Structure 1
Amino acid sequence: MDARDALASALTLAGIQLPAMDIRTPWPDEARYALVHLGPCSAPVAHALAAVIAKGVSR
């Protein structure tokens, strides 16, 4: 959940809002790790997210 919250905060600061972000575990009874499910996103949001990531990498 911390990873999801950190990603959501970073995206919000970058002006990007995804329609859904939740946590899914592959095993219902045991949380070995969780997947951050981003939900569907539009092409403009995908481009904005790619630009933010590229900008961060270039720092």
Structure 2
Amino acid sequence: MTTQRHTAGKAREAEEARDALAAALERAGLRLPSLQVDAATYADAVPRPLVDLGRCPPGVALALAAVIEKGAA
């Protein structure tokens, strides 16, 4: 039971991280079309969910890079 709660908590954390990133990208006028929680990362004995940023068109990648550079300056 404790393992199930731990797994559920980690899944919720990954989903919240995905949603927060999607919202921040949207505010910057960007969208990663394949942004998702990677279901395969639940297969381990101790699940470690990952947020999969996926693929995007080159224009989105360049715009994302510009936003990151601006924020890092």
Per the normalisation by structure 2, the TM-score is 0.66
| Aligned residue among 19, 37, 53 for 2:33 | 19
Q: Could you say which residue in structure 1 is the equivalent of 2:22?
A: 8
Amino acid at match of 2:30: I
Render the CA deviation track for 1:20-48: whole Å, top value 9, x for unaligned.
Answer: 21111524265642211122101110000
After superposition, where does 1:18-57 map in structure 2 within 5 Å? 18-24=32-38, 25-28=40-43, 30=45, 32-57=47-72
Structure 1: runs of 5+ lacking an equivalent: none
Q: Single out whichever of 24-33 and 2-11 deviates more from structure 2.
A: 24-33
State how many pairs are aligned: 58
Q: Name the % identity.
A: 48
Larger Rg: 2
In structure 2, do the counterparts of structure 1 residues 53 and 26 end up closer, same or farther at CA, with 3 Å as the change threshold?
same
